């Protein structure tokens, strides 16, 4: 049986797409391989959202050059956000690659499936893409240029896919999109994300629903109400703020200001007091002064997020920021700002998680390694416990004994 190997980097959308591509290769008669060395088909699912991610992709492709030369029977393909419309230039830059295909698509040199190919044995917590692309064009972001304009999948398609995944063992789904809050605007009856959540909440056997990523400009009151009302929708939201400075938010073309963001967080917390919030910040954006950086630090201290994903700015060729704004914050200063926010958030998360010590939390068990089970609470806290029973896919109550900024440890109750 021929073998395939997929290397994935980047966001959850890439992970979901790689999972589906793997299932599709298996349907075509391939078998999964743990390394590129033994595979006839090697696929790289790439990310270029930051320079550091692009460097890793280029490195990987360089490393594969010799293997590709030594193995004429091997096919090397690349998908993900490295792939732009100009495949001629890509082929010139990476002659070792046989095929490039756009993110979200199937390889054109193989037989295309009639419908999405779902994993035979999905994870307990499965990903379900609901909208592709992005219409926002934030000044620093390459995604809209690579994934194109927003395209929603129909609610019927999504509901039947979730039912299928639940039938195959999934207990939780995370609905994915670059901006899930604009879901449905391009469909005939204009259903929104809240409508979709109401439908999914009725699926028997499905225990939990999450979704990401939200956009502060587009998140509706109706959606907040739906999260508060629906029992399967977890009390957890990912709401990227990017900066606490209004001047920087304007230069980023985010479409909201810090006051709007604060009001939104207050509304969410008033309606869903137990909500766990995570955010993204982008530091060292062109012209970001020390005072503007401090505004971001102040906002994070004030709003107390459970998780903060920190990134530093790197110009992405083709974006407005790369064309028009000088990348004028020195690398050492970007690094200092990164370290400052990292320490700040570590202290905040330490304090938030420490409050759970001695409490009982409910977790959905996702997997096990060496007798140590791993899963998450509804608030997306990672939890570990030891147990000799088969706990996969079960909701288990855990008494928390130890906490860190990143996870909880405890013992099963009963
Ligand atoms: S909302 Fe902005 S940052 Fe997010 S994918 Fe769209 S353009 Fe990029």
Give pLDDT, residue 57: 97
pLDDT at 392 over 90: yes
- Pocket perturbation via mutation, ligand 1, pick of 138, 148, 280 by most ligand atoms within 8 A of CB: 138
Q: What are the tens digits of pLDDT across the range 96-135?
A: 999 999 998 999 889 888 888 999 999 999 999 999 999 9
pLDDT at 410 over 80: yes
Give pLDDT, residue 111: 87
Strand partners, 48: none
Structure tokens at 79: 């998908």
**What is the average per-residue pLDDT within 395-404?**
98
Give pLDDT, residue 294: 98
- Pocket perturbation via mutation, ligand 1, pick of 136, 215, 249 by most ligand atoms within 8 A of CB: 136
pLDDT level of residue 383 (50, 70, 90 thresholds): very high
For the ranges 116-125, 279-288, 401-410, which has the lowest average pLDDT?
A: 116-125
Distance 178 CA to ligand 1 centre (A): 6
Q: What are the tens digits of pLDDT across the range 126-176?
A: 999 999 999 999 999 999 999 999 999 999 999 999 999 999 999 999 999
End-to-end CA distance of the chain: 46
Atom of ligand 1 nearest to the CA of 135: 6
| Neighbour tally for 383: CB within 10 Å | 23
Cα four-point dihedral sign 383, 402, 237, 56: negative
Distance 37 CA to ligand 1 centre (A): 36
**What is the average per-residue pLDDT within 381-407?**
97
Q: Whose CA is nearest to atom 4 of ligand 1?
A: 178
DSSP symbol at 260: H
Q: Whose CA is nearest to atom 1 of ligand 1?
A: 136
pLDDT level of residue 293 (50, 70, 90 thresholds): very high
pLDDT at 414 over 80: no
240 lines ligand 1 (CB under 6 A): no
pLDDT level of residue 403 (50, 70, 90 thresholds): very high
46 lines ligand 1 (CB under 6 A): no
**What is the average per-residue pLDDT within 297-312?**
98
Q: What are the tens digits of pLDDT across the range 208-217?
A: 999 999 999 9
- The rounded percent of the chain whose pLDDT value lies above 70 is 100
Residue recorded with tokens 């288990």: 396
CA 293 remoteness from chain centre: 25
For the ranges 84-98, 269-283, 340-354, which has the lowest average pLDDT?
A: 84-98
Give pTM, 2 decimals.
0.95
For the ranges 79-88, 295-304, 309-318, 352-361, which has the lowest average pLDDT?
A: 79-88
Structure tokens at 271: 């309606």
pLDDT level of residue 372 (50, 70, 90 thresholds): very high
d(CA 207, CA 173): 9
Distance 184 CA to ligand 1 centre (A): 17
Distance 315 CA to ligand 1 centre (A): 14
Atom of ligand 1 nearest to the CA of 254: 2
DSSP symbol at 36: G
Structure tokens at 104: 């979200």
Q: What is the mean pLDDT of the chain?
A: 96
Query: 46 with 81: CB under 8 angstroms?
Result: yes
Give pLDDT, residue 115: 83
| Neighbour tally for 237: CB within 10 Å | 25
Residue recorded with tokens 């370290």: 339
138 lines ligand 1 (CB under 6 A): yes
Query: 124 with 81: CB under 8 angstroms?
Result: no
Q: What are the tens digits of pLDDT across the range 233-274?
A: 999 999 999 999 999 999 999 999 999 999 999 999 999 999
> What order do you get walking across the sheet with 41-46 strand by strand?
31-32, 3-8, 41-46, 75-80, 99-100
141 lines ligand 1 (CB under 6 A): yes
- Pocket perturbation via mutation, ligand 1, pick of 144, 218, 314, 321 by most ligand atoms within 8 A of CB: 144
Distance 142 CA to ligand 1 centre (A): 8
143 lines ligand 1 (CB under 6 A): yes
Distance 47 CA to ligand 1 centre (A): 14
Give pLDDT, residue 370: 82
DSSP 149-215: S-EEPPHHHHHHHHHHHHHTT--EEEEEETTGGGTTTTSTT---HHHHHHHHTT-TT--EEEEE---
Structure tokens at 259: 């006051």
Distance 146 CA to ligand 1 centre (A): 11
Q: What are the tens digits of pLDDT across the range 169-203?
A: 999 999 999 999 999 999 999 999 999 999 999 99
Atom of ligand 1 nearest to the CA of 215: 1
Q: Whose CA is nearest to atom 2 of ligand 1?
A: 138
pLDDT at 347 over 80: yes
Distance 316 CA to ligand 1 centre (A): 13
Query: 352 with 340: CB under 8 angstroms?
Result: no
Distance 346 CA to ligand 1 centre (A): 26
Give pLDDT, residue 116: 85
Q: What are the tens digits of pLDDT across the range 27-40?
A: 999 999 999 999 99
Distance 144 CA to ligand 1 centre (A): 7
Give pLDDT, residue 228: 98
Give pLDDT, residue 85: 85
């Amino acid at each position: 049986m021929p073998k395939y190997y997929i290397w994935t980097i980047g966001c959850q959308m890439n992970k979901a797409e790689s999972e589906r591509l793997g299932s599709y290769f298996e349907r075509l008669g391939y078998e999964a391989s743990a390394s590129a060395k033994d595979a006839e088909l090697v696929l790289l699912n790439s990310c270029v959202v930051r320079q550091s991610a692009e460097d890793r992709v280029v490195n990987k492709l360089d490393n594969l050059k010799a293997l590709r030369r030594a193995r004429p029977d091997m096919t090397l393909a690349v998908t993900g956000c490295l792939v732009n419309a100009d495949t001629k230039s890509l082929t010139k830059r990476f002659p070792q690659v046989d095929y490039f295909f756009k993110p979200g698509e199937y390889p054109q040199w193989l037989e295309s499936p009639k419908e999405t190919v779902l994993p035979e044995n999905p994870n307990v917590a499965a990903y379900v893409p609901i909208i592709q692309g992005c219409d926002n064009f934030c000044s620093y972001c390459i995604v809209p240029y690579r994934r194109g304009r927003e395209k929603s999948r129909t609610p019927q398609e999504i509901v039947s896919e979730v039912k299928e995944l639940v039938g195959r063992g999934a207990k939780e789904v995370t609905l994915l999109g670059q901006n899930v809050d604009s879901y449905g605007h391009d469909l005939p009856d204009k259903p929104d994300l809240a409508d979709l959540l109401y439908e999914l909440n009725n699926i028997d056997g499905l225990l939990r629903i999450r979704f990401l990523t939200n956009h502060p400009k587009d998140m509706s009151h109706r959606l907040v109400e739906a999260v508060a009302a629906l029992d399967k929708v977890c009390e957890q939201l990912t709401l990227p703020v990017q900066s606490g400075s209004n001047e920087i938010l304007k230069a980023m073309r985010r479409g909201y200001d810090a006051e709007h963001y604060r009001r939104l967080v207050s509304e969410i917390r008033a309606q869903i007091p137990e909500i766990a919030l995570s955010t993204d910040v982008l530091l060292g954006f062109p012209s970001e002064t020390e005072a503007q950086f401090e505004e971001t630090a102040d906002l994070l201290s004030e709003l107390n997020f459970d998780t903060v994903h920190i990134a530093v700015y790197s110009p992405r060729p083709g974006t407005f920021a790369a064309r028009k704004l000088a990348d004028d914050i020195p690398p050492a200063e970007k690094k200092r700002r990164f370290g400052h926010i990292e320490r700040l958030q570590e202290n905040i998360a330490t304090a938030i998680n420490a409050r759970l010590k001695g409490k009982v939390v409910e977790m959905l068990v996702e997997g096990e390694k060496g007798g140590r089970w791993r899963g998450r609470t509804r608030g997306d806290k990672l939890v570990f416990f030891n147990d000799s029973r088969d706990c996969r896919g079960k909701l288990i109550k855990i008494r928390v004994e130890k906490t860190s900024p990143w996870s909880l440890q405890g013992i099963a109750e009963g």
